[in-house]
Amino acid sequence: MHIILGGTGHVGSAVAETLLAKGEPVTVVGHDPAKAATWEAKGATFAAVDLYDVKALHAVLRTGRRAFLLNPPAAITGDTDAEERRTIAAILAAVAGSGLEKLVGESTYGARPGERCGDLNTLWELEQGLAAQPVPYAINRGAYYFSNWAMNLQEVREDGVLRTMFDADFELPMVAPEDLGRHAAALMTDDRTGIFRVEGPRRYTPQDVADAFAAVLARPVRVETTPPDQWVAAFKATGFSDAAAESYARMTAATVAAEWPEDVIRGQTRLEDYIAALVGSSA
């Protein structure tokens, strides 16, 4: 049995569906019991578990042989770093003594030690926690999600503006969540261990994103870049707490300054096709 944490999100659902398509037994772990029927109709078992309930999560993990561990993003209205550290600690506590034979952890490009850099720091701590336990493990480090651009769709459609904190020509590793899920599913069924970096067929710029939107919407789309001295205020204007805004601004700055690896796993989903499907699904 494969246990999938975060199975109702973009990446986790892709992991679960890929495994189910291969005839593998899957238990999807989620917090909303209302989603059980959907997954059961696909052939999966659904376990409604609060990640903070270490005992309950441990019991679910003990029913499996391998587990995909995804730490859910914290609500932006609170202290995202502190909240995500709490869930990571709970997940690692539940893994201890579970009898699993392999773990696959979802992480991110640029994961590093430190404070107030959002996922770059918290997911580094997840990686370190997996390294400190005795079960073989693999890390699936994802590039910038294509799905992050979904939040721009309304403004792009209505005003022809793609608002971003990156320069229009900034080349950024990006990936479809489905490609991340497919690679994680492969790691769940083979014996590879270590860190794997996954991105799309090539690297893209915000201008590429604007052009993809423009092509499918049949209207001009311009890139509008928010300068760094306005990042914190921009995050707060969209509902981020002071702490979350600081962390996300620092994470953005680290992304802009990063040097990207060349030893990567390349997914097959093109940005243009992802944007076309995104616009089509929202029509």
In eight-state DSSP terms, residue 134 is: S
Match 């490609």 to its residue by tokens.
179
Whole-angstrom Cα distance, residue 238 to residue 252?
16
Question: Which helix or strand (DSSP H or E) is residue 212 part of?
Answer: helix 206-217
pLDDT, tens only, 216-258:
999 999 999 999 999 999 999 999 999 999 999 999 999 999 9
Match 């052939």 to its residue by tokens.
43
Whole-angstrom Cα distance, residue 127 to residue 11?
17
Token couple for 106 = 């979802």
- Residue of 69, 202, 54, 80 lying closest to 135 (CA atoms): 69
If you count them, how many residues does the chain have?
283
pLDDT, tens only, 161-219:
999 999 999 999 999 999 999 999 999 999 999 999 999 999 999 999 999 999 999 99
Match 């903070």 to its residue by tokens.
52
Whole-angstrom Cα distance, residue 25 to residue 94?
21
- Residue of 43, 37, 51, 34 lying closest to 16 (CA atoms): 43
Token couple for 156 = 């792009």
Per-residue pLDDT at 262 exceeds 70: yes
**Those residues with Cβ within 8 angstroms of residue 73's Cβ, 6 or more apart along the chain or in another chain:** 80, 84, 119
Token couple for 230 = 């306005």
The confidence score (pLDDT) of residue 255 equals 95
What's the predicted TM-score (pTM) here?
0.94
Phi, psi at residue 12, to the nearest 5°? -60, -40
Where exactly are the structural domains of the chain?
2-145+176-199+261-267
CATH class of 2-145+176-199+261-267: alpha beta
Phi, psi at residue 141, to the nearest 5°? -90, 120
Phi, psi at residue 265, to the nearest 5°? -95, 125
The CA-to-CA distance between both ends of the chain, in Å, stands at: 38
